[in-house]
Amino acid sequence: MPALHDIIREGRLIAGHRPWPRAMVSARQWQLAAAEAADGRLTLSGLWGDAGVVHMALLDEESGAAAVLSLECPEGRFPSVGRLHPPAIRLERALRDIHGLEPVDCPDPRPWIDHGAGAPYPFLTAEGDSLHQIAVGPVHAGIIEPGHFRFTANGETVVRLEERLGYVHRGIEKLMRGAMLEQGAKLAERVSGDSTVAYALAFARAVEAALELEPPPRALYIRGLMAELERLANHLGDIGAICNDASFAMMHAHCGILRERVLRAADGCFGHRLMRDCIRPGGVVKDIDGAGLALLEALVKDIRSYFPALVKLYDNTASLQDRTVTTGILKPALARQYGAGGYVGRASGRAFDVRRNIAYPPYDELEFDVPSLSDGDVNARVWIRIREVEQSLSLIEQMMARLPAGPVITTLPRCAGEGMSLVEGFRGDVLIWLRLGDDGRIARCHLRDPSWFQWPLLEAVIEGNIVADFPLCNKSFNCSYAGHDL
């Protein structure tokens, strides 16, 4: 624990950064911090560029402490973190493409987000007998997001998978610059549509941290309800979709029904199936009424009576288990090294959940388990999600029972400040960092999807598996393309 503390103390503390400290550090301290992350004493949670400065967010998982280190790069260069700590490599490549800052000695000189004018991309090679390549994407066979996968296979067995992402890069961080808060919230909600609530919440919390403001208690609980509904919808949909990728369509059909019911309940309560435009800095703009609460109560009851039979079906179908058990194993050491969030980390022994480890309201007042397993296979990831469905149902009930009365939004002061937030989305921890100017506009906003630390692991997980199991592994990770590409 003292490590993070000491590094911060040696640096120059920046006033007005909340809720965690931010310090300007020297290149030596910067590298020291990178070495700490490489040794596993700290978790790298983000790395992003600013005007002539790079920032690195670090977590001390044991104590729940977090901090941001900043390094000036007057010549547009900074010492690579990826050189010591591979999880930083893609972040640095993106930083180079988007901000023009050069990570000196970064092991991978290739561009990442910037695809240039159609120049061929030098994929990594694999050597050996009888290898062939399979190129997939960016346009895939299903209704999914675009990305390119380059497999090198020996017969059926994957020897190497390399991902190429960036196809859905929309330049969100640049659009954020100078935006008003309302526009910023809209953009944040559209970073990764499946995590609309998580992003809206993370954005609101970062703004509230910067402005030193706490929303009314009722708003906190309504946000919690929305967040758990989003988690439910995604988990239910994905459990079915994973089974579908093992050609077990019946689970898919039934889980799809449950997902649809969650979306309809969300629509009934908050006026939008994905709960867009509901959470704003200062609180929420959609209150819940008696009819809404009745809808939620019925929904929880419905899922409680429907879901257990589906879980049994999953557990008792040998042909399905044959596909998911021991497929796509993520080793706990890798999950730890990459700070993999969400069910990807928790199925591989990294029992980290922001709602528990760096608790924010209303979760600090609620009871729930953070399920974790250590098998790390597709099956373990499915089970984590099954358990989390149960936890979310219980959380919704607790929040409904305790829902405070009162207003749901406060007005915001117009002042400058810096804020950071970490929020547990269904996929893992979303980090948002922002700086507000005196005029109340966003000077800079960085949004880091949990997928950044999950995508690289998918490459490791598929190694030695058969090509036909890739969809299964991929769906069990369900990384966001849009969230990653920004």
Partner 1 sequence: MLKFLLQGLTRPPLTEAPPAPEDAELAALAARLQAAARRRLGRSLSIREVDAGSCNACELEIHALNNAYYDVERFGLRFVASPRHADVLLVTGPVTNNMRQALERTYNATPNPKWVVAVGDCAIDGGCFAGSAVVEGGVSKIIPVDIHIPGCPPPPLETLKGLLTLLEQM
Site of interaction with partner 1 (CB under 8 A): 115, 118, 138-139, 141-146, 166-172, 174-175, 186-187, 190-194, 196, 237, 250, 253-254, 256-257, 259-260, 263, 267, 273-274, 276, 309, 313, 316-317, 480-482
- By beta-carbon proximity to ligand SF4, the closer residue of 107 and 193 is 193
Does position 256 interact with ligand SF4 (CB under 6 A)? The reply is no
CB of 168 to ligand SF4, least distance (A): 9
- By beta-carbon proximity to partner 1, the closer residue of 19 and 146 is 146
Judged by beta carbon distances under 5 to 8 A according to partner kind, the member of ligand SF4, partner 1, none in contact with residue 175 is partner 1
Question: Are 385 and 411 within 8 A, CB to CB?
Answer: no
CB of 306 to partner 1, least distance (A): 11
- By beta-carbon proximity to partner 1, the closer residue of 118 and 290 is 118
- By beta-carbon proximity to partner 1, the closer residue of 17 and 169 is 169
- By beta-carbon proximity to ligand SF4, the closer residue of 16 and 193 is 193
- How far apart are alpha carbons 70 and 456 in whole angstroms? 25
CB of 172 to ligand SF4, least distance (A): 11
Half-sphere exposure of 174 (CA within 13 A, CB side): 8
Q: How many residues bind ligand SF4 (CB under 6 A)?
A: 2
State the CB neighbour count (10 A cutoff) for residue 2: 10
- By beta-carbon proximity to ligand SF4, the closer residue of 77 and 190 is 190
Q: Which residues pair with 234 in a beta bridge?
A: none
- How far apart are alpha carbons 257 and 310 in whole angstroms? 12
Does position 190 interact with ligand SF4 (CB under 6 A)? The reply is yes
- By beta-carbon proximity to ligand SF4, the closer residue of 193 and 440 is 193
Q: Who contacts 139 (Cβ-Cβ below 8 Å, separation ≥6)?
A: 146
Grouping H, G, I as helix, E, B as strand and the rest as coil, residue 431 is: strand
- By beta-carbon proximity to partner 1, the closer residue of 196 and 476 is 196
- How far apart are alpha carbons 194 and 479 in whole angstroms? 11
Given its phi and psi angles, is residue 54 left (phi above 0), alpha (psi -120 to 50 degrees) or beta?
Answer: beta
State the CB neighbour count (10 A cutoff) for residue 287: 16
CB of 423 to ligand SF4, least distance (A): 20
Q: Who contacts 89 (Cβ-Cβ below 8 Å, separation ≥6)?
A: 82, 106, 107, 108
Question: Are 59 and 45 within 8 A, CB to CB?
Answer: yes
CB of 237 to ligand SF4, least distance (A): 16
Does position 146 interact with ligand SF4 (CB under 6 A)? The reply is no
- By beta-carbon proximity to ligand SF4, the closer residue of 159 and 262 is 262
Question: Are 425 and 195 within 8 A, CB to CB?
Answer: yes
- How far apart are alpha carbons 178 and 281 in whole angstroms? 17
- By beta-carbon proximity to partner 1, the closer residue of 241 and 395 is 241
- How far apart are alpha carbons 281 and 208 in whole angstroms? 6
The pairing of strands 65-72 and 53-60 is antiparallel
CB of 190 to partner 1, least distance (A): 4
State the CB neighbour count (10 A cutoff) for residue 451: 27
CB of 190 to ligand SF4, least distance (A): 4
* Residue span 191-220 as binding mask against ligand SF4, x where in contact by CB under 6 A, dash where not: --x---------------------------
Question: Are 66 and 358 within 8 A, CB to CB?
Answer: yes
- How far apart are alpha carbons 315 and 338 in whole angstroms? 30
Judged by beta carbon distances under 5 to 8 A according to partner kind, the member of ligand SF4, partner 1, none in contact with residue 168 is partner 1
Which residues ranging from 8 to 47 are in contact with ligand SF4 (CB under 6 A)? none
Judged by beta carbon distances under 5 to 8 A according to partner kind, the member of ligand SF4, partner 1, none in contact with residue 187 is partner 1
The string of DSSP letters for 150-214 reads: EEEEETTEEEEEEEE--TT---HHHHHTT--HHHHHHHHHTSSGGGHHHHHHHHHHHHHHHTT--
CB of 1 to partner 1, least distance (A): 38
CB of 189 to ligand SF4, least distance (A): 8
CB of 147 to ligand SF4, least distance (A): 16
**CA angle in degrees (0–180, nearest 5) for 323-327-328:** 140
CB of 144 to partner 1, least distance (A): 7
Judged by beta carbon distances under 5 to 8 A according to partner kind, the member of ligand SF4, partner 1, none in contact with residue 313 is partner 1
**CA angle in degrees (0–180, nearest 5) for 479-481-482:** 125
* CA of residue 462 relative to chain centroid, distance: 21
In the complex, the residues that contact ligand SF4 under the rule CB under 6 A are 190, 193
